[in-house]
Structure 1
């Protein structure tokens, strides 16, 4: 599998990354082990997880696998913090104490002394960005993380945190990566986040490149009983992409896939892989069979005219000030 630099740094990750959001909840240890085996054997390196996935269960399962049939050196390990569990439910917390405590707990679950990439999972309106940036810098200076970044933050926050980190000088931490949802069904990052990341030398890691599963085409006529849209804890996650607007994009994708003799998800992944600034696309498969379907896209290069057609049908709405 092709390895790509993340932005302007020396960190290299595989073109496709392995997401673990369903691990230990919808994906058991046997399926997870099979997924990780197939991914590593295909040349994949980037494995993405979070302290919030299954309340730490995904990290714990990944840590078990990396101390058993696989080794820590087999993967580029990314985890996220910023959402903590309380008695009243999940709470967003980007404070220094919460982020560093979460990182320490993640390292214990993952059975390692460092992660390759540490991200703040979501914006916290109650914590100053300077404090969040300081926590990221300390994660690097203390050796717990090699690189740091943000996930799901707007463009102005990406730029501000990058500026704060740059103020630490050449030996400090730099904003390495921006993780964001990006697919034919969600191109919102093209308005400000993607241009900001490119201007600042950060690479983009795309999550949900298959439009939360909708770009597989399986929801075109009905909702399969074993799908995420039928799951009690993921139905709301899929529902935004089941409307008429998404259907037009899915229809165009299915037409393109039929013309190429490939699966729709392969075309969707091939389209995203060539977007400027994208270092890796995270595939969060529930089963090993689903992951193998995504790995089949690695040899696909789309014709320019087909890329243009998909660009046109899925183009995000632009207005002032992006277009003046």
Structure 2
């Protein structure tokens, strides 16, 4: 069936400028990490992508190794793009990344020029694209000079294979240096993609913290895992379902869900109920709040395994405001909980 996007798709979604660039992102972006591999029904993927676009979600975020198997999310997205979105390419922001293990041998991961640029070429082929809007260094490489990694991002932009350069999971100090190197090359750092949630607040630590650093260099941010791998939903309020991510030990472990932690989650759930939101909606809205220190988050990156889950998450935009009392109450429960799987060791 031919896809005809909703004519009112831009009427409700807020769009936020990315740092000091000319680019805007939707407040809610769709990540294709868990639910677009070959283990997920193709028609369900299609329905999620179509509904997202109808709701004003114009940013689709991928990486070379998303699946499973690795690469399949990009391949599947390429089929959806060809079928439904090619005519709307200039309405979309499509991003991908390289840095985690993708193929065997010494060049299949990390941040060398060979690895990053080879991976970008493969990603473009899988998706059937001439370019991506944002190309990320997915994680800092402790053994490759930062000049080489940033040089690869600069080359990707100058070659026309990417419009903008981004980084993910870099510390504030690494971010400052990466931005300096890129600026000297003539390609500004557009955006940082950190993990960030009510239970994972590392981005607020340090002097300066990550958000203050991004404000200094003029870059934006997009928060991934804003629901803490599903902990900040109603999924685990009454235990660990047998079909859940925690039960399957996939980036979340049952032993992480201690009674102390879940008591905090239940406290947050009560606050959300008082706001007329689900816990997931409040968690996303909190990510997008105005912050006292540094710039606000540009966009919250959410996943979805169904259209209804997508719609529930996107509905967070209906109430993004918080009173001082609500923020203070949230801070009693929203504390660092040692769930950052992407922290540098």
Whether the TM-score (by the shorter chain) exceeds 0.5 is yes
Match of 1:82 in 2: 99
Q: 1:180 aligns with which of 157, 175, 194?
A: 194
Match of 2:109 in 1: 92
Contact 2:247 2:254 in 1 (8 A): no
Give 3-state SS (helix, strand or coil) of 2:71's partner.
helix
Give 3-state SS (helix, strand or coil) of 1:79's partner.
strand
Deviations 1:137-157 (A, max 9, x none): 101111111111111111111
Contact 1:140 1:173 in 2 (8 A): yes
Match of 1:310 in 2: 330
Contact 1:137 1:173 in 2 (8 A): yes
Contact 1:24 1:61 in 2 (8 A): yes
Match of 1:196 in 2: 213
Aligned runs of 1:204-223 on 2, under 5 Å?
204-223=221-240
Contact 1:198 1:277 in 2 (8 A): no
Closer, same or farther: CA 246–299 of 1 in aligned 2, 3 Å:
same
Greater share of strand residues, 1 or 2? 1
Contact 2:75 2:126 in 1 (8 A): yes
Aligned runs of 1:12-91 on 2, under 5 Å?
12-22=24-34, 23-54=36-67, 55-71=70-86, 72-87=89-104
Q: TM-score, normalization: structure 2?
A: 0.85
Give 3-state SS (helix, strand or coil) of 1:229's partner.
coil
Q: TM-score, normalization: structure 1?
A: 0.90
Closer, same or farther: CA 126–89 of 1 in aligned 2, 3 Å:
closer
Match of 1:7 in 2: 19
Give 3-state SS (helix, strand or coil) of 1:53's partner.
coil
Q: Does residue 278 in structure 1 map to residue 293 in structure 2?
A: no
Q: Does residue 228 in structure 1 map to residue 245 in structure 2?
A: yes
Closer, same or farther: CA 250–56 of 1 in aligned 2, 3 Å:
same
- Unmatched 5+ residue regions in structure 2? 1-12, 338-345
Number of equivalences: 312
Contact 1:64 1:110 in 2 (8 A): yes
- Unmatched 5+ residue regions in structure 1? 318-324
Closer, same or farther: CA 65–136 of 1 in aligned 2, 3 Å:
same
Deviations 1:265-303 (A, max 9, x none): 111111111144311001111222211210121211343
Deviations 1:3-56 (A, max 9, x none): 111111111110000010121145331111111111100111111000011211
The structural deviation recorded for 1:245 is 4.7
Deviation beyond 6 Å, 4+ runs, structure 1: none
Greater share of helix residues, 1 or 2? 1
Closer, same or farther: CA 42–146 of 1 in aligned 2, 3 Å:
same
Closer, same or farther: CA 240–156 of 1 in aligned 2, 3 Å:
farther
Q: 1:295 aligns with which of 307, 310, 314?
A: 314
